[in-house]
């Protein structure tokens, strides 16, 4: 890992830079796949599945037999863990329900909002180096609570032509009935345009590699909405001398094992903690099954020593991490000063993995500094708020003259006239 001591503020931008995604190189290839799926439907998806996932599919839809097979393949302890995680995710997201309130802005003029679910949503769940069945829960449970009428889930099949059983079990537990064997760009295109088997949706959610990221960006220009811009996953750990180097190292490694382009950063006020964490990372890394992949990620990761806690907080807010772990003596006070982060984990007993799986918060979060402007997925991600206004005769008498003046000064006479005819 790269060690940086007492950097000047003028150096922060360069130090905190993420790995660049050179998406221009793949954009043409992504568009080719999108266009083929749009014109050829299921036939194109089946061909791409054979090309990319090395599997020959006769149909794309997961049938009831496959759901039952998947349930029988899941170990009881995993079923129980999925149930516990589901309950916590449901509890947290159900508490986010919007309560509408009618406001009389002027006597006779009443305005309010109504929350309405997005009717059709598409969920993409990767199944490559790690089958992310936890993502099924994070996306499908709030979609179900919101009241989305149609929830479509796509995930790549393995070489036996089956989706990972834990993904299917989680989908069934979260109430998803429409699951399809499709991965990568072809899955995103199918949900954006619709095929003979896969319904078209209005908004697409879910993580993926750079091909999936570019595909989501491309279809969002024309056909559908997407959850948020996404890049490689990342964590920042803000720690002082009271933090455990064992815990800090485990947090950095749990992020680094996501993939070679993931980033893990320690920002600390303690030289001793920095050195001990470096040694502990090396010790724990040697025991990891995904050691080779994790090592690649650590090459772009950093251990940064700063002069005091105030500077550490400023640096975190400048970085705007997807995940932030605060392991300091007064972590609650520090957390109050954080304004740019996707999800914050407070204290020595709150690893990132808690939010990734089972605490109840959502793990679909803004990366690449987008936490400065975007929120993570929540119940609001699956709803729209429609505004209503009701105006009585008294209301238009009181409000009408102001509308007439405003419209006239914008030189929009028809707008003014719509009020005038009522007042007359």
What are the tens digits of pLDDT across the range 77-110?
999 999 999 999 999 999 999 999 999 999 999 9
Q: Which CATH architecture describes the domain 24-226?
A: 3-Layer(aba) Sandwich (3.40)
284-339 pLDDT tens trace? 999 998 888 889 889 889 999 999 999 999 999 999 999 999 999 999 999 999 99
| Catalytic (active site) residue 322 | yes
Name the residue ranges covered by the structural domains of the chain.
24-226, 231-372, 392-423
Catalytic residue (one of 49, 93, 280, 323): 323
Pairwise CA distance, residues 1 & 155, whole Å: 34
Report whether pLDDT(129) > 80: no
Share in percent of the chain as helix, strand, coil (round to 5): 45, 15, 35
Report whether pLDDT(280) > 90: yes
* Fold adopted by 392-423: 1.20.5
Q: Is 251 annotated as a binding residue?
A: no
Q: Is 217 annotated as a binding residue?
A: no
Q: Is 186 annotated as a binding residue?
A: yes
Q: Would 24-226 and 392-423 be classified into the same CATH topology?
A: no
Q: Report the sign of the C-alpha dihedral through residues 15, 16, 22, 24, in that order.
A: negative
Q: Is 164 annotated as a binding residue?
A: no
| Backbone torsion region of residue 84, taken as left when φ is above 0, otherwise alpha when ψ lies between -120 and 50, otherwise beta | alpha
Pairwise CA distance, residues 227 & 123, whole Å: 10
Catalytic residue (one of 223, 234, 257, 322): 322
Q: Among residues 129, 206, 223, which one has the least CA distance to residue 365? A: 206
* Fold adopted by 231-372: Rossmann fold (3.40.50)
pLDDT of residue 48: 98
Q: Among residues 305, 296, 322, which one has the least CA distance to residue 266? A: 305
């Amino acid at each position: 890992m790269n060690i940086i001591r007492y950097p000047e503020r003028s150096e922060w931008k360069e130090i905190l830079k993420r790995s660049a995604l050179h998406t221009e190189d793949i954009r043409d290839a992504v568009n080719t796949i999108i266009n083929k799926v749009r014109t050829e439907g299921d036939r194109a998806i089946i061909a791409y599945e054979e090309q990319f996932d090395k599997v020959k599919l006769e149909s794309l839809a997961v049938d009831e037999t496959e759901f039952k097979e998947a349930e029988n393949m899941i170990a009881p302890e995993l079923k129980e863990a999925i149930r516990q995680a589901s309950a916590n995710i449901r509890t947290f997201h159900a508490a986010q329900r919007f309560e509408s309130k009618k406001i009389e802005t002027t006597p006779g003029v009443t305005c309010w909002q109504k929350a309405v679910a997005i009717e059709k949503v598409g969920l993409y769940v990767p199944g490559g180096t790690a089958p992310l069945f936890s993502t099924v829960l994070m996306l499908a449970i709030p979609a179900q609570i919101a009241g989305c009428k149609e929830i479509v889930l796509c995930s790549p099949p393995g070489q036996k032509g089956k989706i990972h059983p834990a993904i299917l079990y989680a989908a069934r537990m979260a109430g998803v009935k429409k699951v399809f064997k499709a991965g990568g760009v072809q899955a995103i295109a199918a949900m954006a345009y619709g095929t003979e088997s896969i319904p078209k949706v209005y908004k697409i959610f879910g993580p993926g590699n750079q091909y999936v990221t570019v595909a989501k960006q491309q279809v969002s220009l024309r056909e559908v909405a997407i959850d948020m811009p996404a890049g490689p996953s990342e964590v920042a750990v803000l720690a002082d001398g009271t933090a455990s180097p064992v815990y800090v190292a485990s947090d950095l490694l749990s992020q680094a094992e996501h993939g070679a382009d993931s980033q893990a950063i320690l920002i600390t006020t303690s030289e001793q903690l920095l050195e001990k964490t470096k040694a502990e990372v090396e010790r724990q890394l040697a025991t990891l099954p995904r050691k080779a992949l994790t090592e690649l990620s650590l090459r772009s990761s950093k251990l940064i020593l700063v002069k005091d806690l105030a500077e550490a907080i400023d640096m975190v807010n400048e970085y705007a991490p997807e995940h932030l772990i605060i392991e300091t003596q007064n972590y609650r006070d520090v957390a109050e000063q954080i304004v740019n982060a996707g999800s914050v984990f407070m204290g020595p007993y709150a690893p990132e993995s808690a939010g990734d799986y089972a605490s109840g918060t959502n793990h679909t979060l803004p990366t690449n500094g987008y936490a400065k402007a975007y929120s993570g997925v929540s119940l609001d991600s699956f709803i729209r708020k429609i505004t209503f206004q009701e105006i009585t005769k008294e209301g238009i008498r009181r409000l009408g003259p102001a509308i007439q003046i405003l419209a006239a000064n914008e030189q929009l006479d028809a707008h003014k006239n719509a009020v005038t005819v009522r007042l007359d």
